[in-house]
Each structure stands twice: as C-alpha cells, then as structure tokens.
Chains A and B, each alone.
Chain A
Amino acid sequence: AQSVAQPEDQVNVAEGNPLTVKCTYSVSGNPYLFWYVQYPNRGLQFLLKYITGDNLVKGSYGFEAEFNKSQTSFHLKKPSALVSDSALYFCAVRDTGSNTGKLIFGQGTTLQVKP
C-alpha cells in the first residue's frame, strides 16, 4: 500500500537556525511528492513539489526539499528559520495506483520556531 510517514509530531528550532522536517514515502512507480503548510485556522498552502529532475526542489517562503530515492525520503528544509514559519506541515504523495490525482497525506508535523 502506498503511504507517507512523518516520524516527528513536533519539531522545535530556534529562530535563525536551520530546520528539517522529515518525510518518508512508499509508492509503486515514480513518486510525485508534495509539501503543504497549514497555518492556524487556515487551509493548506502548497509549498513545493517533486515530479522529476533535480533532486533539490526550491519552493515558497525560502523552503526547499531534497528527494532521496535510495532512502525514499523527501525532507523539507530551510537554512534559517523564522518565527512566522511556525505552522503544521504536511508531506503528501500522489497515488500512483489510480489516475485520479488523489494525494495521500502524512500525519503532519508541527513546527515551532522560538525567538
């Protein structure tokens, strides 16, 4: 079965430090991977995606993610965290078993950036 795992419920980091939010996936075939951010009482916002090509993907708000096929990972990174980055982050993979565009989401990781 296709799945996405975010092993950390919460990540704490000091402002200005680099941050990493982890994601691993399990799919058949080539993965289409996504990161979304959800601010309190808001909908999900698209951050970045990996379809093919360069393993390092750059996205919105200075975030980037590294696709690692051998480790089946797609970790989200940012060189210098901001307090305003504090939010809930979701990793997702497109279901390759159907042609519906269905996304399978991880359970989410709360990022807390402290001043």
Chain B
Amino acid sequence: DTAVSQTPKYLVTQMGNDKSIKCEQNLGHDTMYWYKQDSKKFLKIMFSYNNKELIINETVPNRFSPKSPDKAHLNLHINSLELGDSAVYFCASSQRGEQYFGPGTRLTVT
C-alpha cells in the first residue's frame, strides 16, 4: 500500500505552459507539504496545509498555487513554467512528528 503517492512521476513540458502535480496520502494525516529539491539536492519547503488550511507559504513565486480539496490531497499547480522551475517536487504528510514523503515528480522545463 502506497502511503504518499504523486502523479505524474515525470513531467516534461515547454516554457510558458501550465501544469499540475497531484498528491494523495492514505495515512489519515492532517498536514501535507510540498518541497522542491534542486539540482544540488537541496530541499526547500514551499507550502503546507493542515486540514485544508494553508499554514506555510514560503517565498515562492505566485505562479505556484497549491490546492487542497480535502485533507488527503494536496495538488500543486504551476502557471507559466520557467526553465528555473526544473526540479524534483516532493509531497509529504505528517501527523505530529516525522514526515512521510512521496516518490517525487521530476519536472523538466525545456
């Protein structure tokens, strides 16, 4: 059973396009996160939702918009994609302690 799943696993698109990444967790956790891992493997948090409410919104371009239809899902929509958006995006969930990560979505913008 997959605890935190993301789709798609790979995403190749051109500059200027709009794309979405979906995340679902079946752990019953209240809190979900989006992270960006750059080419140097550095991990940086982008957003967090707790029970569908946005609680963390780091310094991220407003082209990035998270949406949480329910507490088991946290999707990431990106408008007007740029070359610098190429990275691996990880979704994670937690209850009150450690976070559990999805397998990642490798986004390549050409």
Contacts and interface: CB of A to CB of B under 8 A. Distances in A.
A34 B97 CA distance: 9
A42 B104 contact: yes
Interface stretch (A62-70, A76-84, A96-104): A96-104
A105 B92 CA distance: 14
Interface size class of A (residues with CB under 8 A): 20 to 34
Contacts of A41: 104
Contacts of B102: 43
A90 B98 contact: no
- Max count, chain B CB within 10 A of own CB: residue among A36, A51, A100, A107: A100
B45 A102 contact: yes
A38 B92 CA distance: 14
Interface residues of B, number: 24
Given A100-B50, A100-B55, A46 B96 contact: no
A49 interface: yes
Contacts of B42: 105, 107-108
Contacts of B92: 44
A19 to B, nearest CB: 19
B68 to A, nearest CB: 14
Nearest to A46: B98
Contacts of B98: 34, 46, 49
Interface of B: 4, 31, 40-45, 48, 50, 55-56, 90, 92, 94, 96-104
